[in-house]
Structures are given as C-alpha cells and as structure tokens.
Amino acid sequence: MGKRIVIDPIPRVEGHLGIEIEVEDSKVKNAWTSGALFRGFEIILKDRDPRDAWLLTQRICGVCPTSHAHTSAMCIEDSYKIRPPDNARIIRNLVEGSQFLHSHILWFYHLTGLDYVDVVSALSAKPTEQYLKNVQAKIKTFVDSGQLGPFANAYWGHPAYKLPPDLNLLIVAHYLEALEMQSEASHLSAFFGGKMPMVQATPPGGVTCTPSVEDISNFLFRLKKIQAWVDNVFIPDVLIIAPYYLDYTVIGRGVGNYLAWGVFENKSFDPNKRTLPMGAIYDWQLKRNEVNHKDVAEHVKHSWYKDGPPLNPAEGVTEPDFTDYDTEKKYTWAKAPRMSDKPMEVGALSRMLVAYVSGNETAKKLIDDTLNKLGVPGKHEILLSVLGRAAARALETKLIADAMVTWTMELIENLKSGRNETYTPHETPESGIGAGLWEAPRGALGHWYSLKQGKVDRYQIITPTAWNVSPRDEKGVRGPIEEALVGTPVVDVKRPVEVLRVVHSFDPCIACTVHIIDPETNEIRKFRVS
C-alpha cells in the first residue's frame, strides 16, 4: 500500500476543498476529493416566490454570480414560456462576457499561475527595464519582510519550477497588471448589470436597463483596453510558459468525457447555435454528440446525503446526512452528477473542444494557430491535459473579448433603429416546470425547478465544480479531478506542487464563502456538525 497524503485545504481555490491521495513509486495511485461545506440553497428556495430565485442563487458564488442569475432567469422563463427581447439577449451576453473575462484572468494569474511561476526566483533576474526593476524591488520588500502576502502558499524553490528568473519576473509583473484588468472587467459587468458582484439588472423576462450612449461608450473603452491586454499579454504569456511544461500535455488528462451546455445566445435562442454551443464529447473521441438534460443523474452513495437511487435533478432531493469522513463510504458534500452514466469534465476546455468539433470557425482557428505556434500542428490530443485547460481558457478569453465588441455594435444598431425593448412582461403561473442550461466560467451550470400554487416546490442546482470535483458514483467510478490525479508524478510528498497543478487546472469552486474569524483573536473558527 502506498503512502497517504492529505492536502486540506487546497490553497487558492474558492471555498474549502480537501484532497487525499495515495502515492506509490512517486506517482499518485488513488485520489479522493472532499468538499467540506454544505450550503443548501435548494432548501432555502423551497416555498419562495420563483422571482426570488435569480437574486438568491447569485449568492452561490461571488466570482460567477452573473451565471447563476442568468441560469435561474432562464429556468423561470422556461416555465413561464417567455423569451427576453433581443436587446436583453445582447446585454445579458455582455454582462456574462464581462464576468468570464474577470474569472479567466483571475484564474490564470492569481489562482494557478503561482504553480508554475517561482516568485522568489524572480529576485535573481537581471532586468534592464525600469518597470521590471520596480516590480523586482516590490518582490524583494515582501521577501525581506518575511511576509509574502499575495505570494504566499506556494512551494518556492521546488525543482518542478522550470521558468528562468527573467521569465518569472515578467509573469509576476503581469500578475500585478492582471489585478487592474480584473477591476476593469468588474466595471464592465456593473455598467449594464447594476453592480458586481450580485448583479441587479437581469431578472426573468430580460433586463431592467436601457443603456445610454455614455454607458456604451465607457463600456467599449474599457472593453478594448482588456481586449488589447489579452492579445498582447495574456495569450503571449501562455505561449511563453507552455514550452517549459510540455510534460503537462500528458499529465492530468482525466475522464475523456466533455460536456458543454453552451453559452452566449444568438437571435435564435437555439443552444446548438450559441457562440459556444451545446454538446458533448465521449471516450476521447473528438466528435460532437447531442445532449439532453434528462440524461443527467446525481449519485449520492459517497456523499453526505440520505441514501437513494441516482435521480435526475428535475426529481432530485437535497437531504443532508453528515457522517464521518470515510473514503470507503462517504467523504464529501459534493454529489456525483453523471451524463448517460458517465462522469463529465466541464469548463473552458470542454466548451472550446465542443465548439471546435461543431465547426466553429473562430474556435478552430484559435486552436489550430496555437498548436502551430507550439510546434505541434494537428496534435489535438495534447489539449486533453492540464496544459490544454490553460490554453483553452486563454483562447476562450480572446474569443469572448472579440465577440463582445461585435455584440456592442449590434446593441448600438438596435438602439439607433428605435428597437428599445429590454423586457418581456409576464404573470406568474400557478404551476409549471423549468430548466436553465447555461455556462459559468468554470463550466456547465444547470438549474431545475418546479412550481406549485405559485411557489417553488422543488429547486435543484448542478454547478460546474459539482461535475469536476464529484466523488465516486455507485459503480465506484471516479470523478474528473480524482481520475486526473491518478498517475500524476509527485517528486516531494511534503511539497506536492504537481497535485496543485492538476487540481487548479479545473479551477474548483467549492463554495464562495469566507471563514468565520474571531475579530479579537483572529482565530479561524470551526464548523461543528452534529
């Protein structure tokens, strides 16, 4: 039997995620993912007015609240049999796109970037530009003080870091620039969404704002600033880093099944014609398959819920039943969703792959050009990996930024021609069912609900991370992150940076929450479950 290692919590993820691995012969032999916080939004929403759902479900995540707002609104609209006007479609796309830009930049530079960039090594660089000298001086101040601040929680000096000092310094400089780009992207969300996080202007039926000329002008100015930075900094950084870590084109591959519900509506409101369309890829075969949300079922055999058969979310229940942590029995609050009985990876890689095999010309050009620049033309199999997830997310950022400029022009043309409608009036029916299938930056997001006597009777949510961080199902089949970890090399079991790279490549978000801290002692308080 190999050596058991527990990393709990995983640093630089949203919420509290624990990873237990079994290491044998310096490789991961087995793995278990454990989400350690129950939130219960499905319970909170029962018996409420359905119009509350889009506001409340945003609180699931402070990084992707817009996605929950839109998915919930779509779910309600499905049951009401209404569709938002074209201007609302465009504005929702712009608000959603702004959130994607923010999240992707945050992920690459501030969550996973420090797995590849040795900040302390940057002190050995010999910069000639004053700008980089100033950044180096800031790093030295952190190091000399013994308080690394934002650069804490990493394994500096680990032999798995491969970038030379000059490149480490350059990426750290861009890390700091990325903080400003995040701010700009949040401003974009707020222009038409009312605020960020937790937008106020995208309820069921459409949106509550009609943008002014000034709003659109300011929006476009900030958008083009981000667009230029993505082209000139983000994409080049990925291409600079990638050749040093080509071993991660075969590490962390996962389950070989990819799901996308699709995101960014076109005028048809056909999910198969979204900017990034709906579809699935199975068993490593790069071809598009149709998907139906009725083929989804959630398993709870290894989750802290009352035992029962796998259920489709439309009939799903949320009945917490906490027991001890036991990898042979129950070990996480995450359920195990499956599509047609298969674990599915979701996220930017899934979306870009589905778009590629669906014939999306933009996705195809971006992916093929990148493979050419890396010197591996036509080798799409290398995308099915840790490095592939990073590349896909960077390329998707460019695709979205460029598309947002086009959508803004569409909005301007609509308003110039006198088409000002942004909302579809409606009444709340007494009964109905609805499903909202959309994408958050982290992947496929679904909301399902039923309406009875004008109130929410049942509400179920499958977040992107529920797919990726899922435990084993009833057949003992691992979830995507668990499977991706198997075979990962671990040079130093006390500093398992390789494990962090695999986990962070999925960008898991267990719960967008905070620790409870005693204001007098600064002691992190513990949750007690009885």
pLDDT 10s digits, 177-229: 999 999 999 999 999 999 988 999 999 999 999 898 899 999 999 999 999 99
**Which of the residues in the chain have pLDDT under 70?**
1, 148-150, 152-153, 511-530
Spatial distance between the Cα atoms of 421 and 86, rounded to a whole number of angstroms: 8
- Give residue 35's domain range: 3-505
Q: In this structure, how many other beta carbons lie within 10 angstroms of the beta carbon of residue 414?
A: 17
Alpha helices in 265-385 (DSSP H): 348-357, 361-373
Domain assignment of residue 526, yes or no: no
Residue 144: what pLDDT?
84
Query: At 491, which CATH number?
Result: 1.10.645.10
pLDDT 10s digits, 431-468: 999 999 999 999 999 999 999 999 999 999 999 999 99
Domain assignment of residue 514, yes or no: no
Domain assignment of residue 314, yes or no: yes
Residue 14: what pLDDT?
83
Domain assignment of residue 91, yes or no: yes
Please state the domain count of the chain: 1
Residue 189: what pLDDT?
94
Residue 524: what pLDDT?
42
Identify the bridge partners of residue 342 per DSSP, sorted by sequence position: 339
Domain assignment of residue 313, yes or no: yes
Domain assignment of residue 248, yes or no: yes
Spatial distance between the Cα atoms of 204 and 54, rounded to a whole number of angstroms: 8
Give the count of alpha carbons within 13 A of 289, CB side only.
17
Residue 521: what pLDDT?
55
Residues 6+ apart with CB under 8 A from 12: 110, 111, 112, 114, 153, 500, 504
Residue 511: what pLDDT?
65
Domain assignment of residue 516, yes or no: no
Domain assignment of residue 518, yes or no: no
